Amino acid sequence: MGTAAVRKIGKRWRAVVLLQAGLFASCALAAPEASTPFADTIYAGGPVLSMDAQGSVVEAVAVRAGRILETGPRERIERLRGSRTRVVDLAGQALLPGFIDPHSHLMQAVSFADWANVTQPPVGSVDSIPALLRVLRAHAAAQHILTGGWIFGFGYARDGLAEERELTRSDLDAVFPDNPVMLLHVSGHGAVFNSRAFALAGVDAATPTPAGGVIVRRPGSNEPAGLVMETGLSAFYRVLPVPTEQASLAALRTALAHYAENGYTTVQDGATDARGLALLRGAAARGELPLDVVALPVAMGQADARRLAEQHFGVYEGRLKLGGVKLLLDGSPQGRTAWFTQPMLTGGPGGEPDWHGKPMIDPAEYARAVAELYPRGIQIWTHTNGDAAIDALIAAHEALGAKASDDHRDIAIHSQFVRADQLDAYVRLGIAPSFFSNHAFYWGEVHRRNLGEARAAFLSPLAAARARGLRFSNHTDAMVTPLDPFFTLWTATNRLTREGRVLGPDQRIDTLAALRAITIDAAWTYHEEQDKGSIEPGKRADFVVVDRNPLAVAPADLRSLHVLETIKDDRVVYGDEVR
């Protein structure tokens, strides 16, 4: 996970140390002093950003038994100080609610623990095909991968390579003729494979492209060229090696420590398969989750939805909760597999003309899956990027008579290229967008080329959503982009591309609104706004200590902020005690 854009996990991995010592059992909250009203902990000496409805900034917080007892002026909070009360001096640093991860892929971080990083700057170092191959060679040597062993990399993208073309199986074959190679596309929606991997998967010129998938072919031939997208990946996933449970648990501890380092106290796994769910449930049952984890098991149609509907949703068990069911309607805009009503200007992944993208599943099948879940009160999280996919999302909810007063809070994950009229439908139907403003930086210019200025400028329209009264969150989609919450604040308030141009200036929002999207409004998307997301009496003592007050920092400088300490239920899970 080490990259230039993500601060390396330091030596003080308090989360890992305490986790291995078994101190994070979900029931292990501090016991209150017998028959006294005193606080266990008082935090004071720096601005406390409550993120309440008024955006209050208070002087001090008292905590008892892992819950917030009272907030307010320091003089009043001092009255709750007893002989055993611990007083934490913030020393001018800011205390905020623990960050709520609106959407990321925890289990991807587990899988990628020993993969090569082939991303482009500033996240990685790859800017050409020779540079990519050098990274892979160094990785294979460092990992002591033997002949026949799989070589994996994450973060591959064509855009930004000096050659301005797609990596091919031939490029990989020249260096790795005897090892299967898989390089996951930065979107997570595709991969480039070499010939050895194609052979193991049984995919060749005679293999038809599956519905909802893309297999890029060599020019003038049906032979696969290397890049495979969406449902075309299924044949490869069936032949991938499975890591041991011990290795996966070790990677899970490291991944959760990384979330804690970035200030998150609630984490999402945004597409949980059966194996990942079993791993998380085992860790939860043993009290080994230092942070709250919300898992979204994936359904690819009505049958999956009906089967998953028998699970127990909405309640934490050992800090693990099934938060709803994940459905997927389309693919990736930067990978050119998102589904649009108007064609892309640059064609499809394989040069297809008049390319609109395509749905990942039949919209009618999607509607049937929604119909299985919605009446049962199970929250539906739908991956949807292009406006045609969003039309299908809206139509499925309209067919059920959904309305905002149902308070179902179904989530449109990404909503990257939602139209203004579709935002109006979200208001009417009670659908909440989880936006992805980091796209403006990483792929803003790519979207300009693919879609034109007008469509690209309305990417993740946070301001338009806010003007309509929509509650929205804003996510990193890690491992698609780094976990850094301050980078997300920066992209929401600045919307600068890599090249330094503003993408959709009228869609920028202020810092307070950007903070709400990763605190109280993100908690609302989980139906947890009564328990976390703001610093108010009765809520969990989930906090993050930041080196400066974000509200006092110029928007252009937000990405320079740092997490000093992360606190879950009044216990430090990252960093040293604040001095």
318, part of any domain: no
Residue 417 shares a structural domain with residue 459: yes
- Could you tell me if residue 186 is inside a domain? yes
Residues 22 and 148 grouped into a single domain? no
Any domain includes 285 = no
Buried b (16+ CB within 10 A) or exposed e, 77-89: beebbeeebeebe
Per-residue model confidence (pLDDT) at position 577: 63
Residues 150, 221, single domain; the answer is: yes
Tokens 């879609």 -> residue? 451
Residues 6 or more apart whose Cβ sits within 8 Å of residue 9: 1, 254, 257, 258, 261
Q: Are residues 88 and 117 in the same domain?
A: no
* Residue 21 DSSP SS3: coil
Distance CA 415, CA 310 (A): 28
**Inter-CA distances, 492 with 49, 113, 445, 461, 522, Å:** 19, 29, 16, 10, 15
Domain of residue 95, CATH code = 2.30.40.10
Last residue within a domain, chosen from 237, 255, 287:
237
pLDDT in the model for residue 350: 86
**Same-domain check for residues 80 and 212:** no
Regarding whether 348 and 408 lie in a shared domain, the answer is: yes
Report the number of distinct structural domains present in the chain. 3
Last residue of a domain, one of 237, 266, 294: 237
Q: Does residue 436 belong to any structural domain of this protein?
A: yes
Domain match, 338 and 427 both: yes
Q: How far apart are CA 442 and CA 345, in angstroms?
A: 19
**121 domain residue, yes or no:** yes
Phi, psi of 228 (to 5 degrees): -130, 135
pLDDT given for residue 31 in this prediction: 43
| Burial (0-12, 13-18, 19+ Cβ within 10 Å), 26 | middle
- Is 308 inside any structural domain? no
Which residue range(s) make up the domain with 555?
14-101+537-574
Tell me if 199 is assigned to some domain: yes
DSSP strand pairing (99-100 vs 151-156): unpaired
Concatenate the DSSP letters of all residues of 193-233 into one string.
E-HHHHHHHT--TTPPPPTTEEEEE-TTSSSEEEEEEEGGG
d(CA 514, CA 466): 11
Q: Note whether 59 and 162 are same-domain residues.
A: no
- pLDDT tens-place values along the chain, 579 residues long: 333 333 333 333 344 333 343 333 333 344 444 445 899 999 999 999 999 999 999 999 999 999 999 999 999 999 999 999 999 999 999 999 999 999 999 999 999 889 999 999 999 999 999 999 999 999 999 999 999 999 999 999 998 899 999 999 999 999 999 999 999 999 889 999 999 999 999 999 999 999 989 999 999 999 999 999 999 999 999 999 999 999 999 999 999 999 999 999 999 999 999 999 999 999 999 999 999 999 999 999 999 999 999 999 999 999 999 999 999 999 999 999 999 999 999 999 988 999 999 999 999 999 999 999 999 999 999 999 999 999 999 999 999 999 999 999 999 999 999 999 999 999 999 999 999 999 999 999 999 999 999 999 999 999 999 999 999 999 999 999 999 999 999 999 999 999 999 999 999 999 999 999 999 999 999 999 999 999 999 999 999 999 999 999 999 999 999 999 999 999 999 997 654
What's residue 576's pLDDT?
Answer: 78
CATH number at residue 425: 3.20.20.140
Structure tokens at 323: 């938060």
Whether residues 427 and 343 fall in one domain: yes
Where among 182, 207, 237 does a domain terminate?
A: 237
Residue 27 counted as domain residue: yes
pTM value is: 0.90
In terms of domains, do 347 and 456 share one?
yes
Q: Are 435 and 414 in contact (CB under 8 A)?
A: yes
DSSP 52-97: -TT--EEEEEEEETTEEEEEE-HHHHHTT--TT-EEEE-TT-EEEE
- In the prediction, which pLDDT does 227 show? 96
* Cβ burial 238-250 (10 Å sphere, 16+ → b, else e): eebeebeeeebbb
